[in-house]
Structures are given as structure tokens and as C-alpha cells.
Structure 1
Amino acid sequence: MWALRRVPNPLKDTRISIGASYAASARLQTWSNYIEEKAIIFESSQTISDKRLSLLRFYHSTHASSNLPVGRCGLSSQAGAESSGKENDLEDGFSELETAANAETKENRNAQDETQDGLDSDREPSGDEEDVEGTASNELELSEAETDVSHKKSSTRRTASELFQAIISAPGLSIHKVLDKWLEEGKDLSRAVIAVTMLSLRKHRMHDRALQLSEWLETKKQLDFIERDYASRLDLIAKARGLQKAEYYIQTVPKSFRGEVIYGTMLANCVIADNLKKAEEVFNKMKDLEFPITSFACNQLLLLYKRRDKRKIADVLLLMEKENVKPSLLTYKILIDTKGLSNDITGMDQIVETMKAEGIKPDIHIKSILAKHYASGGLMEKAQEVLKGMEGDNIKENRWACRFLLPLYADLGKADEVERIWKVCESNPRFEEYLAAIEAWGKLSKIEEAEAVFDRMLKTSKKIRARYYAALLKVYSNHKMLQKGKDLVKQMADNGFQIGPLTWDALVKLYVEAGEVEKADLILQKACQQNQIKPLFSSFTVVMDQYSKRGDIHNSEKMLHRMRQAGYAARFRQFQSLVQAYINAKAPAYGIRERMRADNIFPNKALATQLAQVDAFRRTAVSDLLD
């Protein structure tokens, strides 16, 4: 790995704008592998070839090449932070960005994981949502993720399952008594059991309980903490208690363990929390400590710029070239999707060719991204060609591709192809295929078919998760079928499911589509009061947008405040909606520019035009006459 080079007379720092999304990001497989001490740590740095430099030329902007020094590159949100103008389309990120080799393994493992514990999680989806984002978190799987449950001894898995059930059954927020009793009874508390238990808690987004377990283990000296254990604790603190608490915790970590893994974990959580300022500070801190510039850190910046300012992607690519950091598969995925979102199909194809020239084959995820953007660009034949390539010569042999193909064929409006692919799965569907089929039939407005898939899933499986209900609920929401949605939620309650973020999101959108915005707001308010798992970002914005359309300034401001209370940092998207509320109300927005500046939000041309309309001190022909 390469240390950051410094020069005797450093050039003027180039300040780079970064931004992030709770849903904008990737499953950080490379970083996870580093923490898990597996074979892959980071991609080895090597000289960037002329072919790879073509990536930079695709994204090169005037300000990027001449100002970025070879030596020190700081990060700041204030330089050139004007967005590219398609902010509404950039509320996205990546999920399930594993390699093609991992995809089939994961698919096979899902069948086992679905039958592990009986607790429903209603957690965020792992797959593709409307624009490659889903609600997928930039989830950092830390030390617990090192344990592949399917490869552990059955006795370890049984013990871990028992411990998990004991923890989640503990009344209140304290689990220490349960753990003390476990210890008194002399039950297994090996690192393997702890790892599997932690993984289960993380899967169900029970970060607070996982954090309590980690704290208890250290207090009782049941585990000799190493760097990845401290990183795991840091990650849980950030998720359960916020970035400020996580930042304080770093100072308590022994200096010998306060290394790249710790700060990389903090950086990832800043990305998850969409905290622009903190992400900048952490990245600069890592450089001050002379940690190597890695593809992991660069990919984080790319994800941030993909959302906030696509022009600045050139800065990161130039930095990678200067520091001889080889683009990873994730790097190419981000760049391909960014070009696709900009409707630059030619540029997208060029990046694919560059990737192939470097010996990196497009995996199933890249192919699905390409197909989606070809379809949205009206290139139906090219999209179909990609999908046929995903199928291969025998779709039955490439069964794991079915869950990608179902919604993609639906995007093309190919009901016959959806039916054909579903028949391949129909004899013994996997859970992800059920989800994909429900989504596909919903996109095609074939509600009865979607319901039939759902009913079959209920009949053939003893235990299903709430997110499968949420999939059908989303179909009802998209088609404004309020009564059916209510009945489905009642069915969930009758079956003992705990309502979580996905169900809240679908319910909120269901009521919004039905015109009952106040009811949607009330559901969101109750969800926030549960104080366990915060609602999705999209749940807030869909309600805020409705208030904005009405010119309801009070409720628009209220939604912005509640989003902050829920832990979401200010984003461009929120202020765009808020300013529109003032415009529709024909009211001036005093101090709105200062508020945006305080949150490191800088307007693009479209928002600047909106701001001019609500400027209380703007000069007009009438005001000049009156003066």
C-alpha cells in the first residue's frame, strides 16, 4: 500500500466537496474482508495504465486537473460544491455490490439464513430499488461478519441462536442480567458464538443490544479486544447513538489499536449518516496520520460525489492516478451508474470497455445496471441483449440470475418474459425470487399475479419476514389500493409481526398516494416515537414534498426538524423541497441561504433560481419605483 506523498513546498490545497447518503452506498465488502482478516485486504496499488486514465478523461472537469496537488489534498465542502442539477435523481447508492463469485454463494446461503431465527426484522432490502439505491445502507459489516454461519459447526450455531433469543427476549433495554445468568450457568461464550450472535443482532438492526453485548464482554473481560473489536464497537455506537458519541469513543481506544481500521469505520459511518463535515474531517485525519490512500477510501468519495457533485468525481480519479491506486470493481460500478443516471450512454459504454481492457469482467450487478439504464434511455434492444447475456445458454443452470431478471424484464414491459423466468423458479422458489416476482408483477400492474406469488409464499413457508409483506404493500401503494394495504397490515399484526422501517415506508406512501397526507404524517410520527429503528429517509421526504406542494411552510419546516431529530443530516434534497414550499406559499424565506451554508449545502443553478424567488430583499421594478 502507498503512503501519501508530501512535497517540500506544497501547492495550494485543493478542497474537495463530499456528501453521503444513508441509502447511498455499498456493502463494503473489501473493508469487511480487511477487518475479518480474510485473504483479501485491500487491492494492491499499482501503476495506472493509460487505458485506466481514460476514466479520468470521461469525468474530467476544468477545475480538476490543474488544482489538485501531488502532495496534500484536503477536503472541504465549500469549494466548487455546486451540484450538477439532477439532485432529485441522485438519492441513490449501492447495495449488494459483491463480486459475481459471491453472488451465487450468497444466493445459496440465503435459503439457510431465512430459516435461522424466527425473529422478523423488517429490515432494509438488500436488492435494487427504484434507482439502484433501494434503501440499502452503506452497511459496514465488521468483526461479527467474519463468521459465515453456514460454515460453522451446528453446535456453535445452536448455542448462538439460544444466546440471541435470550438477548432479544430480555425486558427493557438492559441485557446485562441475561448475560450474567448465561455466564453463571457456564454456557459457551466463545468468540465463535459471540460472532454469530453479533451477526444475528446486526442482521435485525438491533444495534443497541449488540452494543450492550459488546460493552458487557469488555467489562466482564470475556473477550480480549483487538482492533476489529474496537472497530465493531465504534460502528455500533455510531449506528445506535450517533457520530458524536462515536467520535468521543475513538479517543478511548488504546493508541496501539487506533489505526486505519478504526478511522475507516468512522469514515464509513459518516457516509452512512450523510454527515458531510465529519466525513471531510475523518478523511483529512486519515491523511494527517499518513494512512495509505486505498480504493476503499476513494470509493467512499466517489459515492459521496455521485450524490452531491458529479463533476468532482474527476478529482478522485486524478487522486487515484497520482497515488497509483487501482480502480476496483466497485469503482467501475459507481462510475457506470453515474454515467447512466446522467443519460450519458456513450460514456457508460466507454467505461465498460475500459474495465474489460483492464481484465475486469462485468458481474451480474453491472449488467443489471446497464440493462436498467439502457431501458430508461429507450434502448430496448440493447437492454434485451444484456438480459439475454445474463441468462446465458441455460437459465436453469444460471438460476441465481433469475432474481435480477424478473424486475428488469418488467422494466421493459415484457410480461411474457417475466412469466417465462418465473416458471424456472416456480417449482422451488427462493425467498429473493419471491420478492423479485412480486416486484415484477407489480411493475406490470398485474396485481392478481403478485398476490398469487405472495399467497404461495405464505403457504409454502412457515416463517417469512416482514419485508416480504412490505414488498406486496409497496405494490398496493404504487397502485393507490388503500384498503388492500390496510388489510395486509392488519394481517401482519395478526401474525405477530413487528412493524419496522420498510412497512412504515410503504404505509406512509400508501396514505400519501391516497391523498391522506395527515394520516401519513401521523404514522411517521408514531414510528419515530418507538425510538428503536429510525424511519427511512424516503418516508420523510414523501410527506415533506406533499406539504411543499401545498405551500404549507409550517409542516415543511416541521418535517425538516423531525428528520434532524431522527438522525438525518441536512441534504440538498430537503432544502429543495423546503424552498419550494415558500415559493408555493408566495412567502419570503428569511435566512434560508445562511441556513444552507451552515449545513454545507450549496445551490445548483435550479435551486439558485428557486432561492431568488423567495429572497426577501430582491430588487424588482416595482420595488425600485416605490423606493
Structure 2
Amino acid sequence: MSTWALRRSSVLLRSRGYSLGTTRDACVNLRKITCVEDDAGIFESSLRTYYGLFPSKTFYHTGHASLKFTVNSRELSSQVDATSKKEEDDLGDGFSELDRPAADNDDELELSDDDEDIEGPQNELELSETEIDSAEKKSPGRRAQSELFKAILNSPGLSVRDTLDKWIEEGKKLERPEISLTFFNLRKRRMYGRALQLSEWLEAKKQIDFVERDYASRLDLLAKVRGLHKAESYIDSIPKSFRGEIIYRTLLANCVSQTNVKKAEEIFNKMKDLELPVTAFACNQLLILYKRSDKKKIADVLLLMEKENVKPTPFTYRLLIDAKGQSNDIAGMDQIVEAMKAEGVELDLQIQGALAKHYASAGLKEKAEAVLTEMEGGNLKEHPWVCISLLPIYADLGKDDEVGRIWEICKSNPRIEWCLAAIEAWGRLKKIEEAEAAFELMLNKFKKPSSRPYTALLKVYANHKMLLKGKDLIKRMADSGCRIGPLTWDALVKLYVLSGEVEKADSIFHKAMQQNQMKPMFSTYMAIMYEYAKRGDIHNSEKIFHRMRQAGYTSRYKQFHALVQAYINAKLPAYGIRERMRADNVFPNKALAAQLTLVDAFRKTPVSDLFD
């Protein structure tokens, strides 16, 4: 591959504080970089760059750039000055945290993946499934309900082992396909605690011979249930012959899912020290990490990929397109697309959907509609699955006629995802009756109780502050016997918060956490915390901050931004807040630094100077 077009010219590698080292066997030769600053303080470079990508403007105003980043053959490290970082907790990512194929969604139980954090993620982003499960997803008959899964699902939360012991006592067999399907179903519902108990029981009872992927699955579950420290410690107990790339990349992915920059870089460096191969998966994880935490360092990952001859995947390009789109650099986004085409990389539906979404956000309606038309392909009946992408984007464009046309085609033989997309799209267009009609159609078509349609409609009610309708819907949901998970909690909390009842939202959320083992979404906590901060309610803001830490969410800019705002609105100093941020390895960007000066108990003012 002669060129794969991945580096941007405008990163100020040396003149603005970057240091690209050449220790040991590494050798990275850079042409001279010349930069000029435009009126906005954004730099452009005359460098044609490696592989021709990102020749447009930088992601950021560079200002007081003092980031130092070193890429050696065996090292990846970063140090950040307290005033240099730009807040990039972009919890609105349109991509999954992992480079994985889309799972079939015929199962109607709620997928609790944090799509907002992935953003969604994510999720947000939270990793719902890691690549170690790919074999499980391909298991024959994966759509069928596993008998073992049903038994575990019906057992009390802390007695999974008793259920498994009983399974063996009754003479039932435990074979790989059944076990894999059970793990898949548990992970799909984010029942990580039960999945971990199953994994531990299987090894303790020697029911199967563990291979590297089994150990990696256990590691992943430990990271999700008991934290990164426990997961990392577990590696020492894995036989050396199985401590390969899959093990460490699984830990790396979990570090990234928690946006733990320091630990992620540490694990990546360790992989290099162990001379494990540098894979596209690992590099994509770093891109996800820096797309959230510091976009300036994306270029350094691309340089590392070039040096290590790591070929970018379509997911790599999707991440770069999304990063450009979030920065409203449409020209740069288009150049990435051209680079992809030059390399013969197909623009799949996810990439096209991302392009259309960012064109729509930038007000480029004609370009967005052109992409949507290309996605539709002339005959929607031949490939109606694209409705999932078309419906919400047409809604963003305000095209209720197009939403109606597409929905008419879909609803003759609807699938779950199409109905959910229609509910969301009609909600965005403020067509509440149409959203409710799509909801009723879904309930009539799919008889098995599911929380997903309820959650989708609940979000519509929340966004339009329709509290009474939301309450009625929740009662109907409870009567139906649906299983309620993090996505529903999120919608319910936001319903009460947007209706001005934050205390009620907090109370419901706290009870839900006590009654369930599933991890709540990041955005759910933040919806409550932001509302308390607006009121200057320091006590409750600190309470939510503490609960997030207990739930396993490492401190990030958003938490500290909300917390400091609470002190500002309360007109009280925040003693020790800077020390708390340093302890959590969080460094203020320009906006947060300005906030901190307002809550500094020892700051000088014109009045205080009179008394000095």
C-alpha cells in the first residue's frame, strides 16, 4: 500500500511543543514544518504531510500548546500542561467504542449499551462487548434462547453458582456452543456480574479447557465488574503461554472505555515492551481515547501506525471522519473520504451515515441529502435496513415528508430497529402522535415484552417535557412485565430533570441502582449533576460526583466542570479543587481554568487589595 492518507500537516510537531523521539531503533524523519496563523489563531502548515491526510486546519486553537508526546519504537507517553488541554469528552460520538460488526438486534430485550456515550457510546463511551466475543456472535443458532442462559437469568443474582451446580447434578451437558451463547446473551444485557460468576465457575469446576480467549473474556468481565486494578492483577494468574496480544488489548480497550488516559498509555507501552504486535485494533483504541480526551494527539497515533506499517481499517477512517465532523472541519472530512476512495476503501453505510449526519449539523442540506439518496440506492425495498440511518437524519433535516415516505415502506413489514428509528425521528420532528403510532405498531407486531419501545417513546416525552404522558407510559411498562435497564433509567431520569423535578429523578435513580446490578450510564449521572450545579447545590453535586466514582467512572472534565459550576452558582470557594483534579490526572482547559479562578478562596480582587 503506497499511501493510505493518514497524517495531517497542521499538527505543530516541534515548533509548538511536540517532541517526536528517535530512541533505540526508531527513526522518524520529518520534513521542516512552516506554519502561519490565521485570524482565528488556527495554524495551517505548508507540509504536504505523510500520506496526504489532514492538510487542512488543525482541530484546535493552539494557544499555549505545551503538550509533549513521544513516539518511539517501544513507547507511547504523554504529559499535559495544566492550561493546554481542550475538553473533548465528546460523549456524542456516533461510533461504537470497538471495531466490531453490528450485531443482529432481533432479540427484543433491552440492549443497555450506552449509545450516547459510544457513544456512545457509550458510551459512551462503556464497552458492551469486546472483540473477544466475535466467535460467540457467530455461534450457530445464536438467535435461539439458550437453556443455560434462561436458568441463570431466573436465578437470584448472587446464586448463579448454585444454579450451575444444580445444572450438573441434573445430568445436563455443558458444551461450548451452549456456553458461548449464554455469554453472548449475558453480555448483550450487560449482566456482567452473572457472566463473571459463570466464567469463574467454569474454570473452578474445570468444565472446559480455557484458551486465550476464555482468559481474555474473564479479564474483560473483571475490568467491568471489579475495576481495572483487579483485571490487571488477574493477568499474573494467566498461564504465560496465553498472555498474548488478545489479553492486553482487552485490558487496553477497557482502559479506553473508562477514558483512563494514563493507564491506557501504560498498557500500550507494556505491549510494546513485551514485543507484542502493534495492531490496528490497539491503534484504533488510542484514536478513540484521544478523540475524547485530546484530539491533538490523533496525528501522533497516525504517525505511529505509519512507522509500524499498520494498515488502517474502515473503522480507523470512521473515527477520523467523526473527529473532523465534530470539529466542523467539513473540508478535512471530505479529504479523508477522497483518501479512502483513492485507497479503494468502500464507504459503508456507517461511514455514509456519519457523513450525512455531519453535513446536516453543518447546515449543508444538499450534501446531506445527496449522501442519503446514495445510501437509499434507488429502491429502498431491496435493502430496507438503511432505514435505521435514513429516518433520524432526515428528521434532523426537518424533512417530515421523507420520514413519512420511508416509514410507509418500512411499516408494511417492520423490524424492531426500524420502529425504534421511526419513534426517534418523529420525536425529533415534534410529531408526537406519529411517534406514538409507531410505538403501538411495534407492540402489536412484537408480542414478547421488551423495554426498548417504551424507552424510545419515553425519550420523546422527556425531550418535550411531557411528564404526565411519561408517568403513564412507565406504569404501562411496569404492568407489561418488561425488564428495566440503564437506557430506561436514563430516559426516566431525564424526563423528571427536564420537567424540573431533579429531586424525584435522583430518588428514582438511586432506588434503581440499589435494586439492579447493571451499571448506569454516564449521561444519567451527568443529567442530575448538571441540574444540581445550576441550582448551586454543592452537597448534592458532590454526592453525584462520589456516586460516579463508586460506579467505576473515572473523573473527567465534565464532572469537574459541573462540580465547579455548582460552587460558582453557590458563590462559595472550592477549597482543594485543584489538588483533587491533579490527583485524578485531570488538567483544566481554558474554560475550566477560568471557572477555577472564580472559586479560588485566595484570589486577589480590587477590594481584597485594599486590605492587604
TM-score range, shorter chain: 0.7 to 0.9
Corresponding position: 1:615 with 2:610: no
Q: Hey, what does 1:587 align to over in structure 2?
A: 572
Q: Does the CA contact (< 8 Å) of 1:227 and 1:262 recur in 2?
A: yes
The change in CA–CA distance for 1:177 and 1:57 in structure 2 (over 3 A counts) is same
Distance 1:315 1:444 in 2: 41
Corresponding position: 1:495 with 2:490: no
Distance 2:297 2:132 in 1: 33
Aligned with 1:110: secondary structure?
A: coil
Corresponding position: 1:82 with 2:84: yes
Shift of 1:574: 0.7
Corresponding position: 1:508 with 2:493: yes
Alignment of 1:106-505 (within 5 A): 106=103, 109-111=104-106, 113-114=107-108, 120-121=109-110, 123-124=112-113, 135=124, 137-141=126-130, 143-148=132-137, 152=140, 161-505=146-490
Q: Does the CA contact (< 8 Å) of 1:95 and 1:134 recur in 2?
A: yes
Q: Which runs of 5+ in 1 are unaligned?
A: 13-48, 115-119
Q: Does the CA contact (< 8 Å) of 2:442 and 2:453 recur in 1?
A: no
Aligned with 1:587: secondary structure?
A: coil
Aligned with 2:587: secondary structure?
A: coil
Shift of 1:273: 2.2
**Percent identical:** 61
The change in CA–CA distance for 1:67 and 1:191 in structure 2 (over 3 A counts) is closer
The code of the aligned residue for 1:139 comes to S
Q: Hey, what does 1:538 align to over in structure 2?
A: 523
Offset from partner CA, 1:156-179 (integer Å, 9 cap, x none): 986x62111111112341222222
Aligned with 1:388: secondary structure?
A: helix
The change in CA–CA distance for 1:233 and 1:9 in structure 2 (over 3 A counts) is closer
Offset from partner CA, 1:228-264 (integer Å, 9 cap, x none): 1100111111112222221221111111111111111
Q: Does the CA contact (< 8 Å) of 1:145 and 1:199 recur in 2?
A: no
The change in CA–CA distance for 1:10 and 1:435 in structure 2 (over 3 A counts) is closer
Aligned with 1:197: secondary structure?
A: helix
Distance 2:278 2:203 in 1: 32
The change in CA–CA distance for 1:209 and 1:471 in structure 2 (over 3 A counts) is same
TM-score calculated relative to the size of structure 1: 0.85
Q: Does the CA contact (< 8 Å) of 1:207 and 1:239 recur in 2?
A: yes
Shift of 1:589: 1.4
Q: 2:532 aligns with which of 538, 544, 547?
A: 547
Q: 2:73 aligns with which of 71, 74, 83?
A: 71
Q: Does the CA contact (< 8 Å) of 1:59 and 1:313 recur in 2?
A: no
Q: Does the CA contact (< 8 Å) of 2:128 and 2:188 recur in 1?
A: no
**Range with greater deviation from structure 2 (52-61 or 68-77):** 52-61
The change in CA–CA distance for 1:464 and 1:50 in structure 2 (over 3 A counts) is farther
TM-score calculated relative to the size of structure 2: 0.87
The change in CA–CA distance for 1:79 and 1:138 in structure 2 (over 3 A counts) is farther
Corresponding position: 1:94 with 2:95: yes
Distance 1:469 1:328 in 2: 36
Aligned with 1:74: secondary structure?
A: strand
Offset from partner CA, 1:534-555 (integer Å, 9 cap, x none): 2111111111111111111111
Distance 2:311 2:67 in 1: 19
**Range with greater deviation from structure 2 (577-586 or 401-410):** 577-586
Aligned with 2:147: secondary structure?
A: helix
Shift of 1:423: 1.0
Higher helix share: 1
Shift of 1:337: 0.8
Shift of 1:350: 1.0
The code of the aligned residue for 2:301 comes to V
Distance 2:512 2:454 in 1: 18
Q: Does the CA contact (< 8 Å) of 2:55 and 2:332 recur in 1?
A: no
Distance 2:302 2:457 in 1: 41
Q: Does the CA contact (< 8 Å) of 1:122 and 1:466 recur in 2?
A: no
Q: Does the CA contact (< 8 Å) of 1:90 and 1:306 recur in 2?
A: no
Distance 2:289 2:124 in 1: 16
Distance 2:272 2:94 in 1: 25
The change in CA–CA distance for 1:73 and 1:294 in structure 2 (over 3 A counts) is same
Distance 1:96 1:75 in 2: 22
Distance 1:8 1:373 in 2: 42
Q: Does the CA contact (< 8 Å) of 2:360 and 2:396 recur in 1?
A: yes
The change in CA–CA distance for 1:143 and 1:322 in structure 2 (over 3 A counts) is closer
RMSD: 2.8
The change in CA–CA distance for 1:80 and 1:11 in structure 2 (over 3 A counts) is farther
The code of the aligned residue for 1:147 comes to E
Return the structure number with greater relative CO, CA threshold 8 A, min gap 6: 1
Distance 1:243 1:129 in 2: 19
Distance 1:559 1:77 in 2: 29
Q: Hey, what does 1:624 align to over in structure 2?
A: 609
Offset from partner CA, 1:11-41 (integer Å, 9 cap, x none): 99xxxxxxxxxxxxxxxxxxxxxxxxxxxxx
The code of the aligned residue for 2:171 comes to G
The code of the aligned residue for 2:383 comes to N
The code of the aligned residue for 1:495 comes to S
Q: Hey, what does 1:577 align to over in structure 2?
A: 562
**Range with greater deviation from structure 2 (411-420 or 203-212):** 203-212
The change in CA–CA distance for 1:96 and 1:307 in structure 2 (over 3 A counts) is closer
Distance 1:427 1:465 in 2: 21
Q: Which runs of 5+ in 2 are unaligned?
A: 1-20, 29-47
Aligned with 2:533: secondary structure?
A: helix
Q: Does the CA contact (< 8 Å) of 1:511 and 1:520 recur in 2?
A: yes
Shift of 1:142: 5.1
The code of the aligned residue for 1:123 comes to S
Q: Hey, what does 1:54 align to over in structure 2?
A: 53
The change in CA–CA distance for 1:344 and 1:57 in structure 2 (over 3 A counts) is closer
Q: Does the CA contact (< 8 Å) of 1:77 and 1:277 recur in 2?
A: no
Q: Does the CA contact (< 8 Å) of 1:551 and 1:580 recur in 2?
A: yes
Q: Hey, what does 2:512 align to over in structure 1?
A: 527
Q: Does the CA contact (< 8 Å) of 1:466 and 1:497 recur in 2?
A: yes
Aligned with 2:341: secondary structure?
A: helix
The code of the aligned residue for 1:444 comes to L
The change in CA–CA distance for 1:238 and 1:98 in structure 2 (over 3 A counts) is closer
Q: 1:597 aligns with which of 582, 587, 599?
A: 582
